[in-house]
Amino acid sequence: MSNTVLHATDADFDSQVLASDQPVLVDFWAPWCGPCKMIAPSLDQLAVEYAGKARIVKVDVDQNQQTAMKYHVRSIPMLLVFKNGQVQNTHIGAVGKAQLAQLIDKAL
């Protein structure tokens, strides 16, 4: 099990996220998005802290527009928590590490 943030694409989103046996926090982001860059260090820390319990996956909306459209991503960062292939929680906008951890904890 990797303890780093994973990157999913349109091609492997289903296998990386929907088929995961652990809750997955998905960060829909883009390289040009300032708030996305602000929360990246927190996501990196959470990936280590939740290793073996939950996964952190980033999806670049510019490169993976099919997945972004499927989940109606209109503003970023948009964070979705998946469990058993279903969306459990949604949050739009940059938040602190504690709020990100709460999103994950709700799905555990």
- Predicted confidence at residue 1, as pLDDT, reads 43
The answer for residues whose C-beta is within 8 angstroms of residue 34's C-beta and 6 or more apart is none
Catalytic residue among 5, 24, 26, 36: 36
Residue 33 lies in a domain: yes
Exposed / middle / buried, residue 71 (Cβ in 10 Å: 0-12, 13-18, 19+): middle
Range of the domain at 47: 6-107
Residue 65 lies in a domain: yes
Residues of the chain with pLDDT under 70: 1-3
CATH number of the domain residue 10 falls in = 3.40.30.10
In which residue are the tokens 């504690």 written? Answer: 98
What Cα–Cα distance (Å) separates residue 39 from each residue in 5, 11, 15, 66, 86?
12, 25, 25, 23, 23
Residue 69 lies in a domain: yes
Catalytic residue among 5, 24, 33, 68: 33
Tally of domains within the chain: 1
Cα–Cα distance for residue pair 90/82, rounded to 1 Å: 9
The verdict on whether 33 is a catalytic residue reads yes
- Predicted confidence at residue 2, as pLDDT, reads 53
Residue 103 lies in a domain: yes
Residue 1 lies in a domain: no
Instruction: Summarize pLDDT for 71-83 with one digit per residue, the tens.
Output: 999 999 999 999 9
Q: CA Rg, the chain, in Å?
A: 12
The verdict on whether 36 is a catalytic residue reads yes
- Predicted confidence at residue 94, as pLDDT, reads 95
